[in-house]
Amino acid sequence: MLARSIVSRRSIATSARLLNGTTHFGSKTVPTEQKEKLVGNVFSSVASKYDVMNDVMSLGIHRLWKDHFINKLDPGKRANSRDPMQFIDVAGGSGDIAFGILDYAKAKHGDTVSTMDVVDINADMLKEGERRALEQGRYHRDPRVRFMVQNGETLDEIESNSKDVYTVSFGIRNFTNIQAGLNTAYRVLKPGGLFYCLEFSKIENPLLDCVYQQWAKVLPVMGSIVANDYDSYQYLVESIERFPDQESFKSMISKAGFQSAGYESLTGGICAIHWGVKV
Ligand SMILES: C[S@@+](CC[C@H](N)C(=O)[O-])C[C@H]1O[C@@H](n2cnc3c(N)ncnc32)[C@H](O)[C@@H]1O
């Protein structure tokens, strides 16, 4: 807890000192225009071993978190509703959440008509999602599903007020400008639309935090053993450290214009589900 508070305070102090035109990349300060490329390199590098990365980082628990995220969201067109739902999953390259939402909508609500835009800034991650769709025999060349290379901060090709549900899972902490991403989520949602985010967060239990701090130290070493990729795993640990805590992120969601912002911490705050409604 103490170690993490020190890191958090250091992050705030460093943020205050950041010069115009610079931003964080893990623990480094880099020119803002370079961050997108550096993050791109990380995910291009892990794309083909993406499940390994998630399993190493979360000891496999990410699958339970994602299932809980989708169950809680309870997505799908209701029988008494006329129109299909328009979903968008941002930073969704792997397809885990997008396909999970469509599977759930069909199984729980008999919804086979709603549409999904799977959006990611990284073409390699999107290719990985498409490869999985092909391999699993679902959502490949499906007219309901579009894979689009787009920056979540701007979503240039997504119309304003066009989506019913916006999801982002383990993606938004990598944005150069997180507030711009939230403002854009607000822009693309219809009035009444729901923002739903799954992201690493701040651990609330001191004992668990202590265990996590030790784990975070060995993670890059694990990354180099299982994926021959120390640097990407080091970046991922540092990006988690830098991400705002539950209350701060909730404030950012409200600042974007969302009402009824709230969150649920999972596994002692290792990650959290955040939400908000566009009124
Ligand atoms: C850890 S992966 C998460 C993938 C997936 N959502 C999941 O939960 O398995 C993070 C993703 O964020 C994407 N990403 C990073 N910055 C982005 C941005 N500015 N706009 C859109 N996607 C971004 C990366 O390319 C990568 O695919």
Q: What is the pLDDT of residue 52?
A: 78
- Locate 25 and state its tokens: 């990349």
Nearest residue CA, atom 14 of ligand 1?
91
Residues of the domain holding 152: 2-277
Residue 232 Cβ inside 6 Å of ligand 1? The answer reads: no
State pTM to two decimals. Answer: 0.90
Give the bridge partners for 168, in sequence order: 90, 197
Q: What's the whole-number mean pLDDT along residues 166-176?
A: 96
Query: Residue 75 and residue 111: Cα distance in Å, rounded?
Result: 9
Q: What is the pLDDT of residue 16?
A: 38
Q: Which helix (H) or strand (E) holds 264?
A: strand 259-266
For the stretch 182-234, pLDDT in tens is 999 999 999 999 999 999 999 999 999 999 999 899 988 888 888 788 888 89
The distance between the two most distant Cα atoms of the chain, rounded to a whole number of Å, is 54
Q: Which residue has the tokens 């693309």?
A: 188
Give the bridge partners for 119, in sequence order: 90, 148
Q: What is the pLDDT of residue 107?
A: 98
Q: What is the pLDDT of residue 140?
A: 94
Nearest residue CA, atom 10 of ligand 1?
171
Q: What is the pLDDT of residue 231?
A: 86
Q: What is the pLDDT of residue 174?
A: 94
What's the number of CA atoms in the CB half-sphere (13 Å) around residue 225? 6
pLDDT for residue 83 is more than 70: yes
Q: Which residues are annotated as a binding site for S-adenosyl-L-methionine?
A: 94, 120, 151-152, 169
Q: Residue 201 contacts by C-beta under 8 Å, 6 or more apart in sequence?
A: 243, 245, 246, 249, 263, 265, 269, 270, 271, 272
Q: Give the mean pLDDT of the chain.
A: 90
Q: What is the pLDDT of residue 19?
A: 57
Q: What is the pLDDT of residue 201?
A: 97
CATH number of the domain to which 179 belongs = 3.40.50.150
Q: What is the pLDDT of residue 9?
A: 35
Residue type, 162: S
Give the bridge partners for 200, in sequence order: 271
Q: Which residues are annotated as a binding site?
A: 94, 120, 151-152, 169
Q: How many domains does the chain divide into?
A: 1
For the stretch 224-271, pLDDT in tens is 888 788 888 899 899 999 999 999 999 999 999 999 999 999 999 999
Residue 269 Cβ inside 6 Å of ligand 1? The answer reads: no
pLDDT for residue 41 is more than 90: no
pLDDT for residue 47 is more than 90: no
Q: Give all strands (DSSP E) within 7-58, no chain letters.
A: 22-25, 28-31
Residue 152 Cβ inside 6 Å of ligand 1? The answer reads: yes
pLDDT for residue 3 is more than 50: no
For the stretch 125-161, pLDDT in tens is 999 999 999 999 999 999 999 999 999 999 999 999 9
Cβ atoms of 36 and 235 within 8 Å: the answer is no
Query: Residue 54 and residue 203: Cα distance in Å, rounded?
Result: 18
pLDDT for residue 53 is more than 90: no
pLDDT for residue 36 is more than 80: yes
- Locate 164 and state its tokens: 């019913």
Q: Residue 169 contacts by C-beta under 8 Å, 6 or more apart in sequence?
A: 66, 69, 89, 91, 92, 96, 97, 197, 198, 199
Residue 99 Cβ inside 6 Å of ligand 1? The answer reads: no
